[in-house]
Structure 1
Amino acid sequence: MIFLFKINLPTLNVESNIYITLHSTDNVESGKMSTLQVSKKNSPVSHTGNKDLFSRVVESLSLEAREVLANEFYEELKEIRSRQAASQLARGRKHMSNETIMELISRSSSARKRVLELAKEEAEKVLQAIEAIEEDVQEGQEDPEG
């Protein structure tokens, strides 16, 4: 059986469809039990365009930004990964994979916002470095004996 629930989240401007599939077996004596599978559709990250864009942003994050995310979203990471894995990520012993970050931002709007903030900060640093290099290159061209 498949049940469909439609949930409107006005604070996030998101309408989500949650599909619940109930799988049952005829042979209860064999020890098999019914399983419940829940999947959330239509999150802001799950749209193909947004997912591709977020994927590019996530790929550009430095190891330091990944560690910041692991520390700030430790509790959420424990839900996605094991407690031990979340601890290793927060301590910097392991680095969050792109897949883990994508899963985190698909579950948490605050994580989405934080990923974007970190990416902007890093992009600004790169732009400043480019400007400094361009100034050096221009000075070198003006003074050929340099």
Structure 2
Amino acid sequence: MLLRIRALLAALWAGELLTVALLAAPNAFATLERAMAGRYVGRLFELDARFALAAGILLILMERRLHRDGDVGGSAMNLGFLLPLLAIGFTAASYYALEPMMEVARQGQGSWTFLQLHAVSMVFFGLRMITVLVLAWRVMPRIAPAPAR
């Protein structure tokens, strides 16, 4: 049961990231005034960061429990543990470290421009998306082929 819940949570996280990146953010800038779209997308990224931390921690805890119960083999530091940890790191770097720097850059202060920080933030978001997609693919339960008749 925990294997399926883990797979569902990883898939939901991957879907959330794809929805923000491919639908919500681009459509906000296509339909709303630039300042309003920026506020809307900023709020989306705030919610995304909170969800990422919660999902990442839950997935790590589930992995520890599955490893302890013997449901997953291998080392305790396997990809089921490292991928959510890496995604949490990308979240922390992107939202909790770069976002305050971007606010300073919007006011014309700091050594980096807003555009430079935005580009670095997009790279972190892309790396997190790839990490979570790989995680979701890895934890999906394998379906045995139907027996031949």
TM (norm. structure 1) is 0.27
* Structure with higher strand content: 1
Q: Who wins on radius of gyration, i.e. which is larger? A: 1
* Structure with higher helix content: 2
